[in-house]
Structure 1
Amino acid sequence: MSNHFLRFSIISVITLGVVFTICSSAKLVDKNEDDYALENFIRYDDYIYDDSIKTVLLFNTRSEMTYPIISLNSGETIKLSFDDLRRDNSIYYFTIIHCDANWEKSELAQNEYIEGFFEDELFDFRYCNNTDLYYTHYNLTFPNENMKLTKSGNYVIMVYKVNDKEHPIITKRFMIFENHVAITMNIKRATDVNESYFRQEIDFKINHDGYDIKDPFGRLNVVLMQNYRWDNAITGLKPKFINDTELNYDYNNSENVFDANNEFREFDIKSIRYNTIRVEKIQLEAHDRLTHVYLLNDERRSFKQYYSQPDLNGNFLIKRNEGTDSEIEADYIKVHFSLPTIPIQNGNLYLFGKFCDWKFKEELKMEYDTLNQQYFKEVLLKQGYYNYQYCFVKDGSKNTGDISIIEGSHYETRNEYSILVYHRELNDNFDRLVGFATVSND
C-alpha cells in the first residue's frame, strides 16, 4: 500500500506541474485511412482497444439507461464502469479530451477546459464475487473534486494503464451542454409517399430567444440522432426558414428522415437457474467451465407485419436476479444466437445494438452453417437484459449497415430521437453545445 501511495504522489506532482499533451506518442490517422486496419492510434469515438476489457458503460448517474450527457455547472455527474478479465491488478488512469462538433480534437488546451488534475487514477475497483469467470470491476464518477470541466461541448474520456498513455484501453464519448436554446420536435411518417410506410421524419424548430446567433447558417452545427446512434446520425442541417429568433427545420426532400426499422429483439439472462425470455437451454460446459445459454431460433422479419412490443430501443441492463450487487456478482455467460435463413451474398451479418456501441465488431460477425442453413454466433456477455437486432453490411462498407434486410422497417416503430445544437461564436476557437433535446414517438 505504501508503494502504491508513493507512486500516486509522484505522478500527481508531475501532473500538477506539467501540461500533458494528449496523443503525443500515439498514431493519429487521416479520416480516409482504414481505421479497422490500424490498432495503435487514439480514436475520438466509443472504442475498446483491449480484448480483456468488457461491459464498458457510460451514463448520466440519474439512471443506467440514460445517455452520457450532463448540463454545464448543474452538479450532474457521469459514471464510467468496466470489467477487466485479467488477474494482474492493473492500475488505470484517465484523462479527458475536448473535441469539436465533428469529433476531432479541439484547439483548446487542457487548462482551458479542466479545473484541477489533467489526469487521475481510477481508485474505485472491486473484485468479482461468486462468479465462474474472474474479473475486476472499475467505477469512476466525474466531474469530481479533483477534476472539473468548465466548457460545454463534445468530450472523450480516455482510460489507460499508468505511465502508458500512448496505449489507451478505452475511449468513450460524452457531452456537456448549456441551455441557451429551446428545441421542439415533431416525429411523423415520412412526407414522401414512396417512403411513408417504412421511414420516419423529424421536423423541428430551434428558438434562441435571449441568446444571440448572428449567422445560423454558418455558425450553427445541428446533429439529429436516432436511439443515440452515431453511425447513422444526420449532420449539416441548415434552417429552412427563419422567423425572428425561431429557426425552422421542416424539410420536404428526406434530409431529416430515418429508416424506422423494427422493434428490437430481446433476451433475458438475469437468471441462469431457469429459462427466461427467449432462452431455450442453459447448461454448464465442461470444456471452458462456463455457463452457456442457447437462445431460441430467431426468425427473419423483413416480410412480416409490424408487431408492437416494448423494448429499450437497443439498450441493455446489467443485472443478476440472485445477487444484491450486480456490478460484481453478475457472471459472464456464453450466449448462442441462431438465425435460420438462406445466406446473404456480398456482405456479412452482424449482431447489433448498444451492447456493441452500435459498431460492426468482428467478434459479433455471424458465421454460416451450410448444413443446417442458418447463421450462428457465440458471444460472451455479462448477465442482464439485452436488446439486439441483425444488421447486414455490404462488402467494402465498414461503417454503414442495413437493418431492414433481416428486421424489416415500419413507420409505426417506436424510436427515440435527439437533437444536438452546436454554436461557434465569432471569436471562439471551440464549439459550444448550446442545446439538447430528446423525444420519443411512443
Structure 2
Amino acid sequence: MKHCCYTLLFCFFISTSCFAQTTPFDNNVYRHEIKSVEFYNSKKAASFPAIDLGSNETVTLGFDDLSGGSRTFNYTIQHCDATWNPSRLSPAEYLESFIDDRLNDYTYSSGTFQKYTHYEVKIPNRNIIPKISGNYILKVYEDGDQSKLILTRRLYVVGKRVSVSANIIASNMVSARRTNQKVNFTVEYSGLPVQNPNTDIRVFLMQNARPETGIMNSKPTYIRGTQLVYNDVNINDFAGRNEFRHFDTRSLKLNSERISKIYKDTANTVMLLGDPNRNLPNYILLYDNDGKFFILNQDGNDPRRDADYAHMYFSLAANKADTEGTAYIVGQFNDYKLDDRSKLTFDSRGRWYTDLLLKQGVYDYQYVWVSNATKKPDDTILEGNYFETENDYQLLVYYRQTGSRYEQLVGYSLLNTAKQ
C-alpha cells in the first residue's frame, strides 16, 4: 500500500467535501447549543477513548447544554468495522445489557454568566456493556429518537490478542527528511488463528488521534513467521507539522500568557494576542498538548458546573487575502471540523478574525488554510512543518476471522516521537 508523502503534507483531508458533510459515524455535534464535549478514558482527562474489553476501565462523556433546564437525552453504542461502517450484527450480538439508556446524571451551572446544564455518563455501566471488541460509535439523541441526534463519539474497545513494536524515524524520502516523520512497526499475531495475514489483519495509524490524518495498512511489507512487518519506504510517512498554539483561561480574573484583555459585563469577553503566520524556516520548541483541551477553573471548586463561558476573540496575520483563500481555526475542541463555525473573517486591516464561545480551560488550536485555487485544506501553510515536532501516534490493529461478520480490535498502541 503506497502513499505519497506530499499528499499527506499538503492535504490531510481528502477533499473540500470532507468538511462540508457530517456522518453519524464520526465525532460530531449536531446542535449549536451543545458545547464542551469531552470523551476520554476515565483514567486521564483528554486521553484517547480506548478501553480494554472485560476490564474495569471506562470512558467518560461530558457535555454542556446551553439551552438551560433539563432535557430527555438517551444514548447507545453501535458496533462498526475498521472504517466505521456499521457491522452486520444485531445489538444483542454486541451488547450484554440493554440496547439504550437514559442520561440521568446532570447538574446545573452555578455562579456563571452563561447558564448551562452539564451532562455526564461513564461507559460501560450496568445498563450499557459492550460484549465484543471493536470500534463503537456512541450516539446521544433526544426523546428516545435516534433521528434527533445530539452528538456522536468514536469509542475503541480493545480485546488485546497481538503485540506491537514500533519506532519513528525521519522520512526515507530525501526531499521530506526535514519535515516528515515515518512510522515503522511490527505486529506479532501468534495468539490469533490467522489463515491469510494479507487479508485477515489491517492496521490503522493516525497522528494525534485525528482520523483525517490516518493511514490504513491493508497488507504488510513482508511476513516473518507470525510477525507482520510494515516498513516499506513509501508507507506511513506523516507530515510532522508544528506544535499547537494554545491559550489559558483557567482564571478570568487576570491575564495569562496569551491573553490581551478580559472584559466582564453581562458576559465574559477575552481578547487574545494576535497570532502570526508560523511557517518559518526552522523549528521553534514549544510545549503543547497535541491538540487537546481541558476544562479547568482555578477560581471555583468543580469546573463541570462553575467554569464560565467566554467569547474568545482570535486574530491572525496570515499574510494572505480573502481573494487567495479562507482560514479556519481547529482543535480537538471542535473536532477539527472545517465549517461555518470554524471559519475566520477577513477585515479591512488585512487580518483574519473570529470569536468562539468557549468554556474556561486550557486549549490547543491551529489554523488551516483552504486555497481558492486548489480547494484543498492545508495545515502547514500557516503553521509550518518540521520533523522535530512532538506528536502522538495511535496504532490500532483489526482482525476479521474467516467467515466472521465483524472486525475485532485486537491491539492498540500509543506511540510518541519523544518517548521511544
Q: State the TM bucket, normalised to the shorter chain.
A: over 0.9
Backbone CA RMSD of aligned residues: 1.9
Contact kept in structure 2, 1:266 and 1:277, CA below 8 Å: no
> Which of 48, 55, 58 is 2:29 aligned to?
48
> Which of 246, 254, 257 is 1:266 aligned to?
246
> Which of 74, 89, 100 is 1:93 aligned to?
74
> Which of 346, 363, 366 is 1:368 aligned to?
346
Cα distance in 2 between the residues matched to 1:174 and 1:295: 34
Residue 96 of structure 1 deviates from its aligned partner by 1.1
Contact kept in structure 2, 1:261 and 1:403, CA below 8 Å: yes
Q: Does 1:244 align with 2:244?
A: no
Cα separation, partners in 2 of 1:138 and 1:164, compared to 1, 3 Å: same
Which residue identity lines up with residue 44 of structure 1 in the other structure? F
Contact kept in structure 2, 1:343 and 1:368, CA below 8 Å: no
CA deviation map 1:121-174 (0-9, x unaligned): 011000001000000000001111112111111101111112322111111111
Kindly report which structure 2 residues correspond to 1:116-127, keeping only aligned pairs within 5 A, or say none.
116-127=97-108
Cα separation, partners in 2 of 1:350 and 1:32, compared to 1, 3 Å: closer
Cα distance in 2 between the residues matched to 1:33 and 1:109: 34
Q: How many corresponding residue pairs? A: 404
Contact kept in structure 2, 1:60 and 1:79, CA below 8 Å: yes
> Which of 224, 248, 255 is 1:275 aligned to?
255
Residue 395 of structure 1 deviates from its aligned partner by 4.7
Aligned residue number for residue 125 of structure 2: 144
Residue 35 of structure 1 deviates from its aligned partner by 7.3
CA deviation map 1:173-222 (0-9, x unaligned): 11101111111111111111100011110011111123232212111121
Which residue identity lines up with residue 412 of structure 2 in the other structure? F
Q: Does 1:312 align with 2:289?
A: yes
Cα separation, partners in 2 of 1:375 and 1:43, compared to 1, 3 Å: same
Which residue identity lines up with residue 195 of structure 1 in the other structure? A
For structure 1, the 5+ residue unaligned runs are: 1-30
Which residue identity lines up with residue 273 of structure 1 in the other structure? K
Cα distance in 2 between the residues matched to 1:397 and 1:88: 46
**SS at 1:364 equivalent:** coil
Residue 361 of structure 1 deviates from its aligned partner by 2.8
For structure 2, the 5+ residue unaligned runs are: 1-13
Aligned residue number for residue 207 of structure 1: 188
**SS at 1:312 equivalent:** coil
Cα distance in 1 between the residues matched to 2:24 and 2:151: 9
Cα separation, partners in 2 of 1:37 and 1:307, compared to 1, 3 Å: closer
Contact kept in structure 2, 1:281 and 1:294, CA below 8 Å: yes
TM-score (norm 2): 0.92
> Which of 369, 385, 390 is 1:414 aligned to?
390
Residue 37 of structure 1 deviates from its aligned partner by 6.1
Cα distance in 1 between the residues matched to 2:26 and 2:182: 27
Residue 401 of structure 1 deviates from its aligned partner by 2.5
**SS at 1:148 equivalent:** coil
Cα distance in 2 between the residues matched to 1:97 and 1:249: 30
Residue 232 of structure 1 deviates from its aligned partner by 1.3
Residue 87 of structure 1 deviates from its aligned partner by 2.3
Larger RCO of the pair (alpha carbons < 8 Å, separation 6+)? 2
Aligned residue number for residue 27 of structure 1: none
CA deviation map 1:241-297 (0-9, x unaligned): 1110111100112x2111101111111000010100200111125xxx211111111
Contact kept in structure 1, 2:398 and 2:407, CA below 8 Å: yes
Residue 236 of structure 1 deviates from its aligned partner by 3.5
Contact kept in structure 1, 2:325 and 2:371, CA below 8 Å: yes
Cα separation, partners in 2 of 1:148 and 1:379, compared to 1, 3 Å: same
Cα distance in 2 between the residues matched to 1:397 and 1:76: 45
Contact kept in structure 1, 2:208 and 2:393, CA below 8 Å: yes
Contact kept in structure 1, 2:193 and 2:401, CA below 8 Å: no
Aligned residue number for residue 10 of structure 2: none
**SS at 1:111 equivalent:** helix
Kindly report which structure 2 residues correspond to 1:344-359, keeping only aligned pairs within 5 A, or say none.
344=321, 345-359=323-337
Cα separation, partners in 2 of 1:367 and 1:33, compared to 1, 3 Å: closer
Contact kept in structure 2, 1:315 and 1:353, CA below 8 Å: yes
205-214 or 78-87, which deviates more: 205-214
Cα distance in 1 between the residues matched to 2:106 and 2:113: 19
Q: Does 1:104 align with 2:55?
A: no
212-221 or 338-347, which deviates more: 338-347
Which residue identity lines up with residue 76 of structure 2 in the other structure? T
State, as a whole percentage, how many aligned pairs show the same letter.
35
**SS at 2:305 equivalent:** helix
